[in-house]
Chain A
Amino acid sequence: MKVLVVEDEKGLAESITDYMVKEGYICETATTFQEADEKIYLYTYDCVIVDLTLPDGNGFQLIQTLKRLVATTGIIIISARNALEDKLKGLEIGSDDYLTKPFHLSELNARVKSLLRRRQFGGHTEIRFEEIVVVPHTRKVYVNDQLTTLSRKEYDLLLYFLSNIDVALTKASIAEHLWGDNIDSADSFDMVYSHIKNLRRKLIEKGAADYVQSIYGIGYKFSQP
């Protein structure tokens, strides 16, 4: 999987690249419009992450070029502008997703994965982790081949974990993933805790190992015990 990150802030581009490389992607970076433009002409990417405000050009233009060249490339806009018009315009000209800065790297990762799943297999693919199998197409979860009934949020939570295996996920990022940016409540962390407790219980009941580990002061991590 080849991913191109177009972001003028070098530090941020570096962080994203590091994260993506760890996830097993081949990742390239472009920090200017010119560089990005060259790269998309020369190579084919599965996914391009584009910042809208670049020092020498506009991200929208890049997206238009991309769509003309390789229509199957997945496009995710990352922008500091939280304007609705930008989101609508981005989606209109063919981007697949829009993330407002600052975002959680784990969130970006989950979005990239979900996008690639949709693009490559039309969603007809299973996500497998040890004895856990998730079928995104039908939103069904199997543990040791037994159907496990999860609530909507528990399912979202599991998928988020599975997209970020071995990664420490902060409580804030989990809460925002489940309830959106506007979740601004002191209760949200308690809710995260309660959902995680339920998910854990349901998975263990069906005979799965306890993969959810809590990290003191930070959040949780889904990994081999």
Chain B
Amino acid sequence: MKLLVKTNRIYLAFSLIIYLLTALAFYHIVRLLIYDDVESRLQIERRDFETYVRIHNSWTSSPYFVENKIDIVPVSQHTRQLTQTRGVFTDTLIRNRYDDELIPFRQLTFYVPIQGTIHRVSIRKSLIQTYRLIEAVTFTMATFLGLLLLGTFWFQGKLSGRLWHPFYETLSRIRHFNLNSVTPLRLSKPEINEFNELNEVLQKMADKMQHDYQSLKEFTENASHEMQTPLALINAKVEQLIQSEQLTETQTNWIGTIYEASRRIVRLNQGLLLLAKIENNQFQDAQLINLTQLFQEKLQDMDDVLSFKKLTVHYHQLTPFDVKLPLTLADIFVTNLVNNAIKHNHSGGSIKLDSSTDYLSLSNTGGHLVSDPNRLFERFKKEATGTDSIGLGLSIVKQICDSYGLKVTYKETNGLHQFYITRLLLTDSNN
């Protein structure tokens, strides 16, 4: 949920509660005031009535032609206490004589002795006017408060939209910032101090990151250079040594072993550097590459090796399987898998290439896998038989897949080893 939506919702909920409470309080206060007014008038009328009764000792309702104004009923109970009571206020509904409507009244009931008999007297006042007043007040209030609420809500939305604009601007710039590119992160200088500080901090961090990344890249490059040069030197010197005529057979053999070992270190170093480079995303300009075609070409290139090992290649459905990869890596990817399929094959075996727009599968015949198939893609994991290999080929394949939204899986069924390459779903790769 967006920050603004969230704050607006909280704001809306809070103001609605306040609004309802205010409306309720307002209603009650107005009602209380009106009741207070009506009741005090009823009290005055009671006094008037009592004065009248005391003077005349009788009652006639003649001056009171207003409907339901007064009601006097003699009560049989001869209780003195009743006359002492202050009177009771009640709400009552009385049917209108003319239009058969129920009209709310406020009624004061008290007891008065007239001519020796206790009478229960109820004086009433119609509340119809006051109810109208409450309605009008409530309606006006509801309308204006509602308008105010909507107004502030709208204003708040606009205002925070504007206030938070630099923040969203920063966010989008960071999102588009690429550590790999040469262009540094450029953030604006908003007026608001907090955002300004945020931008400064982010800017500093991004610069540092870019700098570190750059030095890491340089380190990789330099390490490559620094290690390859002495290795080149060793190789060159050994090669020169091989040329000398005076060597005994044992010495030649030793030199041969040294030479092999140094070649292995070279390959190992190159493999590890390649892995580091892929991990650091140092390969740029990925382009759309038809992997199927690349596999086909590579298998044709290896035709020499294939015929030497008496391997047959079967091409099944060859629908182009396009992936986005840097050309160098695509080549390494294909070479490693093809080499793997040849190396772990047996004489007279076969290799099968099959692809569609969504997958590519390369399978080869071969001996039963001794090691754990789940650890096949780990570094330096190799089958005991292939001591010649450095054990990085498949980890490089895996690393390329991981870095470029592909997925490679391995499966063995009845001596058929299959590597299955698919594209990761977009949602997967975003995570």
Q: Are A and B subunits of one complex?
A: yes
Chain A interface residues toward B at CB < 8 A: 9, 11-12, 15-16, 18-19, 53, 80-82, 84, 100-106, 153, 167-168, 170, 172-173, 179, 182, 184-188, 190-191, 194, 215-218
Q: Provide the main secondary structure of the chain B interface.
A: helix
Known: A81-B221, A105-B239, A191-B305. A216 touches B253 (CB 8 A): yes
Taken together as a complex, chains A and B put the C-alpha atoms of A146 and B331 apart, in Å, by: 41
Known: A15-B237, A172-B263, A215-B252. A186 touches B225 (CB 8 A): no
Taken together as a complex, chains A and B put the C-alpha atoms of A173 and B259 apart, in Å, by: 11
29 of the cross-chain contacts (CB-CB < 8 Å) are A9-B232, A15-B233, A15-B237, A80-B228, A84-B328, A101-B231, A102-B236, A104-B239, A105-B236, A105-B240, A106-B239, A153-B304, A168-B243, A170-B259, A172-B259, A173-B239, A179-B304, A182-B335, A182-B339, A184-B389, A184-B393, A185-B305, A187-B309, A187-B342, A188-B305, A191-B304, A215-B242, A215-B252, A218-B255
Q: B235 near A185 (CB under 8 angstroms)?
A: no
Chain A residues with Cβ under 8 A from B230's Cβ? 9
Q: Nearest chain-B residue to A51 (Cβ)?
A: B229
Give which listed residue, B236, B249, B342, B393, contacts A15 with CB less than 8 A. Answer: B236
Q: B236 near A12 (CB under 8 angstroms)?
A: yes
Known: A81-B225, A170-B239. A101 touches B232 (CB 8 A): yes
Taken together as a complex, chains A and B put the C-alpha atoms of A184 and B388 apart, in Å, by: 8
The 8 A-B residue pairs whose C-beta atoms are closest, nearest first, are A102-B232, A80-B228, A217-B256, A15-B236, A217-B253, A186-B388, A101-B232, A80-B225
Question: Which residues of B (291-324) have their CB < 8 Å from a CB of A?
Answer: 304-305, 308-309
Chain B residues with Cβ under 8 A from A172's Cβ? 259-260, 263
Taken together as a complex, chains A and B put the C-alpha atoms of A102 and B238 apart, in Å, by: 12
In the complex, besides A9-B233, A11-B233, A102-B235, 9 extra interface pairs with C-beta distance below 8 angstroms are A11-B237, A103-B232, A153-B304, A179-B305, A182-B332, A190-B308, A191-B305, A215-B242, A218-B255
Q: How many residues of B contact A (CB 8 A)?
A: 46
Write the nearest CB–CB distance from A20 to chain B, whole angstroms.
Answer: 12
Q: Nearest chain-B residue to A182 (Cβ)?
A: B335
Among A53, A80, A103, A172, which residue has the most Cβ atoms of chain B within 10 A?
A80
Chain A residues with Cβ under 8 A from B253's Cβ? 216-217
Chain B residues with Cβ under 8 A from A179's Cβ? 304-305
Residue-wise interface mask of B (256-297) relative to A, using a CB-CB cutoff of 8 A (1 in contact, 0 not): 110110010011001000000000000000000000000000
Any chain A CB within 8 A of the CB of B8? no
Any chain A CB within 8 A of the CB of B327? yes
Write the nearest CB–CB distance from A21 to chain B, whole angstroms.
Answer: 12
Write the nearest CB–CB distance from B216 to chain A, whole angstroms.
Answer: 16
Chain A residues with Cβ under 8 A from B221's Cβ? 81
Chain A residues with Cβ under 8 A from B266's Cβ? 102
Q: A216 near B308 (CB under 8 angstroms)?
A: no
Chain B residues with Cβ under 8 A from A191's Cβ? 304-305, 308
Q: Nearest chain-A residue to B392 (Cβ)?
A: A184
Residue-wise interface mask of B (317-356) relative to A, using a CB-CB cutoff of 8 A (1 in contact, 0 not): 0000000000110001001000100110000000000000
